[in-house]
Chain A
């Protein structure tokens, strides 16, 4: 390695003179800086969206309306979803990609550094637009994050802000995706063949293609909403010969791939963490790659399972049922492979491993309820109830967010050069895992017993489980403050991390010093140091 082992990240002098202080962060084109920006932005949004979730759980703590009016409640559910999906989870994955992909594939930086800077800085702008609607006459959007017309067209002054915020978020994601594809295609170190890529890189590549194929469709759909509202088109208005159900088809054509955009990188992270702490290579590396591809492909032909109750011909319902339950095959394969990796291994249970193991169990529970929801006739009961709410929170919170946490603990020592506080990390894990189940598991029962989703108040027979769920919610919300403590403590100092950090860690990123120099792999690593993705 030609790089001096100094960790000077304030300035370096052999490429460009970048300013220090705030201007450094605004003008930075360095993949590590931008990765950090993404991750901090996402953490901020996680708490903003979290506060909205707390408002929701507070109002649902007891039957009757005690705190907010129904319109504001609907704004909270709508904004919570938009903020968490587009503000917390998606930017977090892009942050991980920025930080890790170049140092995983032995590249000096992302392929398009200036575009990288832009794609991040669009985001704060987009979310300022979106969050500003909370203070507008008529309130923030309250028609659900799915923006179904005609209801969404009843939104007040916030409507154009919602549409343009979605456009900007989409532009940011597409730019990020283009950058990642260009980086992996063109910047891999010699010897880093495609089938040697770490699975996180593989899952991200597939995610990036999903983004490029699906986000523009969302952009089209919301543009049609905009012209329907202001320019007299009638794409979705029955009065003008359009069809409101068509919006749902177009939206979910985007929406289902979007679900996998949120979860595929999680598969990659878990596939990195389990072998590390099991000290055993990942079982079935290539079948993992093919399964990810299969899931991505299927995600484009299952969309109507989000709208079985809208009324479609029998043949359509059957088709979408069959394709939907078929997704269980590649997804099941992944879970079996992770379990096989653990078989006859030598495991230790540091915080990243704990989160990864919880991911496997809890994501699988979310997968089971997903399978149940995919069966059309039974979906006529489950649809739009708390059963669905429980399902997608198992997949997205104990799935995507837990994998994010696992990844953060896994790489924090690499990023900061310091070990995080393991004891605090374990506390964070156990409080989160217990409370998140108290929060979401009873919601299965609520849904089955007949509680619809997106209601601010409920019949008294739902009271007990809602109270339990709310208590779980408050504890889960508070336990995330522990994570902030861990991160702050880790940035400030702590036991110095070694280059390899974890005993069982393999891969190029662990050959760099912790933290890595501001510019890493300016000279490509030795091909012999590339081991292949199963480790």
Chain B
């Protein structure tokens, strides 16, 4: 190969490989939405579905079947809240809209804001667990010592696989970053 041709060939290879590098870097970021789509299909990370009231009204009811729904709650270890379901288990027919309640208490001496994330087990049930009303993902503020009851309305899709008899709905409250930083440093590890 002549020098000029070699130079040309080299810069072509470099250009292509650099483009691949950039592409793969972008692919790393593209994995984020891809992962979310993947999770929605498989229920992998237990994210639940959402329904509008109209859609809810259209869901058919399956009275022949009963599913046990179990509620569990968590509070991130650095958050000074108590948080519990007001019912630990409940039996529902798929397709029937049901309301349950959760109670949060701010035991700190100052206002705390947080938001809850849901998770469903088994993951295969997640896409059949649809909520029409939920406090999750939106910011909830409680004044010092305040108690708040928060409702969740949900419908279990009749398409839920037959072998699933128990569905667990978990909520975890995390303190919002902005309030976590301004809050006075108060050591509130989970009581032991």
Contact = CB atoms under 8 A, between A and B. Distances in A.
Q: 8 closest A-B pairs (Cβ-Cβ)?
A: A220-B28, A239-B174, A216-B24, A216-B25, A217-B28, A182-B13, A186-B9, A178-B17
Given A178-B14, A212-B20, A232-B177, 16 more contacts: A111-B6, A111-B10, A178-B18, A215-B24, A216-B21, A216-B25, A216-B27, A220-B27, A224-B28, A239-B76, A239-B115, A239-B175, A241-B137, A250-B31, A313-B43, A315-B42
Contacts of B22: 216
Interface in A325-384: none
A250 B32 CA distance: 9
Contacts, number: 102
B140 interface: no
B166 interface: no
A220 B25 contact: yes
Interface of B: 1, 6, 9-10, 13-14, 17-18, 20-29, 31-32, 35, 39, 42-45, 76, 115, 117, 123-124, 137, 172, 174-177
Contacts of A501: none
Contact of B31 (A187, A219, A249, A316): A249
A105 B105 CA distance: 73
A253 B115 CA distance: 31
Q: How large is the interface on A (under 10, 10 to 19, 20 to 34, 35 or more residues)?
A: 35 or more
B176 to A, nearest CB: 8
B13 A178 contact: yes
A312 interface: yes
A235 B32 contact: yes
A217 B25 contact: yes
A448 interface: no
Contacts of A220: 25-29, 31
Interface string A271-315: 000000000000000000000000000000000000000011101
Contact of B24 (A112, A213, A224, A238): A213
B10 A186 contact: yes
Which among A217, A232, A253 has the highest number of chain B CB atoms within 10 Å?
A217
A216 B28 CA distance: 7
A217 B22 CA distance: 10
Nearest to A314: B124
Interface string A243-275: 101100110010000000000000000000000
A174 interface: yes
A185 interface: yes
A82 to B, nearest CB: 19
A253 B31 contact: yes
A245 B45 contact: yes
A249 B35 CA distance: 9
A137 to B, nearest CB: 18
22 contacts: A111-B6, A112-B10, A174-B21, A178-B18, A186-B1, A186-B9, A212-B20, A214-B24, A215-B21, A216-B23, A216-B28, A217-B24, A219-B28, A238-B172, A239-B174, A243-B39, A250-B28, A253-B28, A253-B31, A311-B123, A312-B123, A313-B44
Given A178-B18, A239-B177, A241-B137, A186 B28 contact: no
A451 interface: no
B50 to A, nearest CB: 13
Interface centre among B14, B26, B39 (most CB of A within 10 A): B14
Contacts of B23: 216
A483 B96 CA distance: 74
Contacts of A239: 76, 115, 117, 174-177
B21 A181 contact: no
Nearest to A239: B174
A226 to B, nearest CB: 13
A118 B39 CA distance: 42
A390 interface: no
A186 B174 CA distance: 56
A372 B17 CA distance: 36
Contacts of B76: 239
Contacts of A169: none
Nearest to A237: B174
Contacts of A235: 32
Interface in A219-239: 219-221, 224, 232, 235, 237-239
Given A312-B44, A313-B43, A238 B28 contact: no
A253 B35 CA distance: 12
Contacts of A315: 42
A182 B18 CA distance: 12
Contacts of A237: 174
Contacts of A238: 117, 172, 174
